């Protein structure tokens, strides 16, 4: 009887060890795949982050390295918040919106955070004065879920979002393509996040919102 109890105890311990081992293996494998996916991403992202009371402009490499603040609030200046950054077509400047003399204005700044000035009249930019669920005509947002339209106009689900609530659980926002349309970038739960268009790989890049990506 005593031997039987010992045998059962050893069997249970081995079973628990096997379960824990499988769990840890799966966890480390997932983290390894996530790291590989992050390292494979190229280009730079400009984005907004709230630091205390104010929204500031940052940039970061798409692989999560090289974060740099480009523009921040200065108490002696009237631009209290800066948001909705986007790359110029040539990738040499960044446009963003800020308050100037109690009016919302478009500014531009170079990639090093210098030479801030009003945006030249007639300059084309993608974003307006408000953020959007999706910035692309062929990316569809439906109760927080992301889909895109292929060349045949067929709807392809990329990311399913559950328990949608417009206030408490809106899901992804400010959704747009990578420059080569292989990936989709968006803000989710306070983090800039990237997913491949197949929906099989997803990674958080940095805390922030309103991302715009260039290669």
Helix or strand (DSSP H, E) at 29: helix 2-40
Q: Is 21 found in the same domain as 8? A: yes
Is residue 127 situated within a structural domain?
A: no
Total number of domains constituting the chain: 3
- Percent pLDDT > 70 in the chain is 78
Question: What residue numbers bound the domain in which 65 lies?
Answer: 44-118
Q: Is 142 found in the same domain as 96? A: no
Q: Judge residue 195's burial from the number of C-beta atoms within 10 Å of its C-beta, 0-12 exposed, 13-18 middle, 19 or more buried.
A: buried
Q: Is 141 found in the same domain as 81? A: no
Is residue 181 situated within a structural domain?
A: yes
Per-residue confidence (pLDDT) for residue 101, from 0 to 100:
75
pTM of this prediction?
Answer: 0.80
Residue 76 has pLDDT above 90, yes or no: no
Is residue 128 situated within a structural domain?
A: no
Is residue 123 situated within a structural domain?
A: no
């Amino acid at each position: 009887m005593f031997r039987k109890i010992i045998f059962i105890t050893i069997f249970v311990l081995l079973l628990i060890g096997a379960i824990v081992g499988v769990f840890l293996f799966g966890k480390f494998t997932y983290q390894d795949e996530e790291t590989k996916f992050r390292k494979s991403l190229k280009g730079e992202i400009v984005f907004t982050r709230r630091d205390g009371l104010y929204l500031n402009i940052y940039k970061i490499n798409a692989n999560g390295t090289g974060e740099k603040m480009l523009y921040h609030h200065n108490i002696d200046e009237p631009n209290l918040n800066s948001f909705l950054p986007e790359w110029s077509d040539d990738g040499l400047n960044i446009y963003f919106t800020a308050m100037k003399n109690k009016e919302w204005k478009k500014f531009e700044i170079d990639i090093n955070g210098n030479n801030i000035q009003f945006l030249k009249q007639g300059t084309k930019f993608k974003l307006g004065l408000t953020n959007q669920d999706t910035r692309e005509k062929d990316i569809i947002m439906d109760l927080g879920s992301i889909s895109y339209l292929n060349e045949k106009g067929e709807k392809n689900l990329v990311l399913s979002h559950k328990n949608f609530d417009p206030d408490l659980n809106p899901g992804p926002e400010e959704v747009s393509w990578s420059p080569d349309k292989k990936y989709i970038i968006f803000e989710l739960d306070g983090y800039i996040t990237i997913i491949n268009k197949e929906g099989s790989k997803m990674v958080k890049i940095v805390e922030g919102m309103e991302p715009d990506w260039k290669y």
